[in-house]
Amino acid sequence: MSGATLSQLNNFDEIIDVRTPTEFSEDHIAGARNFPVLSNEERARVGTIYKQVSTFDAKKLGAALVARNIADHLTHRFADRPKSWRPLVYCWRGGKRSGAMTHILQQIGWRAEQLDGGYKAYRRAVLQALTTLPGQLRYRVICGSTGAGKSELLRALAALGAQVLDLEALAAHRGSILGGLPDCPQPGQKLFESRLWNTLRRFDPAQPVFVEAESKKIGSLRTPDALLDAMWRSECVHLDADREARADYLQREYAHFLQSPETLCVKLDYLTAMHGRERISRWKDWARNGQWSALVLELLDNHYDPAYQKSMRKHYARLDTATRVAIEDMREENLRRAAAQLI
């Protein structure tokens, strides 16, 4: 990024993404707001004319649409911006769309700047940063069997002011085959990486960063290799929780499956290759009959706990010297006490 670098993005009052809503939803600079100068349909229409009719006709139509949309933003969205307003404007390559918006804002008197290279330059810079930035931080990795309260402990740590990297929150997924969040789809890989970079860049390297042990994939998303490598080398904290307490907690945490057993049955089918049709059939029967305690305990014993032990032993070299923290249950006061001890 030859204009505003990643480290300069905070120097602006507002970051304006003038790309289409579809482009914006795929990925955008953290904190940016979408004020498109062409809608999804308008951009497609201009592109069709560009290919099938002529460049001149496409530019003529595009200019009219862009001018009309910028005028609408000025009237309805930018009217309250003060004279001192300093926005950063970007589009796909830092070309005509952001150039038009920037020019008009400057002519009005605002100190608008255009992001050189646009989103493409930003994306390249983020990918480069994610190869080096994770290794500049010191991590304390929260380990523990499924249902031990790792995510809850992270939230308790954050409430006490610790630096916390909550990968599952950034990925909108709890990390297992059953870990999808109801009514909350995962972001795309690019947006996940933007969120991750934006979180990492705000940490103080002199202070530890608490993060939950994760595998290479969180749902459909890939954790960057540099971050995984740094985590695998890091100091570990191991949560010890009673098996029955974990099962009770999981029934509360995954209550959406209790309300929709057939949704769970669909997910269980993905485990058939690992556990066989007979066991999966039994688990599905238990779900449909509301035998939740039996189902959760068997999932822990036969699926989650063995998979956890195998993965942790393979990747986390310092697991044997981990700080042990006993969690009696998931009550807020117990988690807050454990977080205070770690800090």
Active site residues: 91
The tokens describing 264, both together, are: 């769970």
Using an 8 Å Cβ cutoff, are 33 and 6 in contact?
A: no
Handedness of CA 40, 43, 47, 48 (dihedral sign): positive
Range list of H helices, the chain: 21-26, 40-52, 55-76, 96-108, 118-132, 150-159, 167-171, 189-200, 225-232, 243-253, 255-259, 261-268, 272-288, 292-299, 305-315, 332-342
Integer Cα distance of 86 and 74 in angstroms: 15
Integer Cα distance of 90 and 232 in angstroms: 37
Max Cα–Cα distance, the chain, nearest Å? 72
Collapsing DSSP to helix, strand or coil, 236 comes out as strand
Integer Cα distance of 119 and 23 in angstroms: 10
Provide the 10 A C-beta neighbour count for residue 203. 17
Q: What φ, ψ does residue 89 adopt, rounded to 5°?
A: -115, 135
Q: What angle in degrees, to the nearest 10, is found between the helix axes of 40-52 and 55-76?
A: 160
Integer Cα distance of 160 and 143 in angstroms: 20
Element (H, E) at 34: strand 33-34
Pairing of strands 221-222, 217-218: antiparallel
Integer Cα distance of 163 and 146 in angstroms: 23
| Type of residue at 183 | D
| Type of residue at 312 | M
Collapsing DSSP to helix, strand or coil, 316 comes out as coil
